[in-house]
């Protein structure tokens, strides 16, 4: 199993990013894909039209989200991976650090680039236009 970290900067306050991640409508807007989200511990989420699913494990309001995370590509015997989203205030808005671990070895590279292509790039566009 692999672990990686990816980061991005967004032109809005950390609380805006945090709230959007946990809101179905805003999450769908920022990824430009159908999503369901929850702002409750043990709440279930789906992303990219059901390709991704998981559960909120820990929520630190405006600062940190910890979720289980898996895709349709995981084998039934694969354990869930974990995603931690940490948002921190910087002079230009938010530094988002995403830690992803327990990722199947043969899928890690694709997911690492996928965070950039399917999350961070559209999020920058969304928050630049809707901040």
**Whats the size of the chain, residue-wise?**
131
d(CA 37, CA 28) in angstroms, rounded, equals 9
Q: Is pLDDT above 90 for 131?
A: no
What integer is the mean pLDDT of 10-15? 98
Q: Which domains does the chain have, with CATH numbers?
A: 2-18+57-130 (3.30.530.20)
d(CA 51, CA 56) in angstroms, rounded, equals 17
The whole model's pTM is what? 0.95
CA 13 to chain centre: 16
Going by the DSSP 8-state scheme, the letter that residue 80 receives in this structure is P
State the pLDDT at residue 130.
Answer: 81
φ, ψ dihedrals at 45, nearest 5°: -130, 155
The per-residue pLDDT for range 53-102, each reduced to its tens digit, is 999 999 999 999 999 999 999 999 999 999 999 999 999 999 999 999 99
């Amino acid at each position: 199993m692999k672990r990686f970290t990816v980061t991005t900067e967004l032109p809005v306050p950390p609380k805006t990013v945090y709230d959007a991640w946990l809101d179905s409508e805003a999450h769908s807007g920022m990824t430009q894909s159908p999503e369901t989200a929850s702002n409750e511990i043990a709440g279930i989420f789906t992303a990219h039209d059901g390709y991704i699913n998981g559960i909120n494990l820990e929520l630190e309001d405006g600062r940190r989200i910890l979720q289980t995370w898996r895709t349709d590509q995981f084998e039934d015997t694969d354990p869930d991976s974990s995603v931690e989203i940490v948002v921190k205030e910087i002079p230009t808005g938010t530094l988002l650090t995403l830690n992803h671990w327990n990722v199947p070895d043969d899928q890690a590279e694709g997911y690492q680039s996928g965070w950039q292509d399917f999350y961070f790039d559209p999020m920058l566009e969304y928050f630049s236009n809707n901040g």
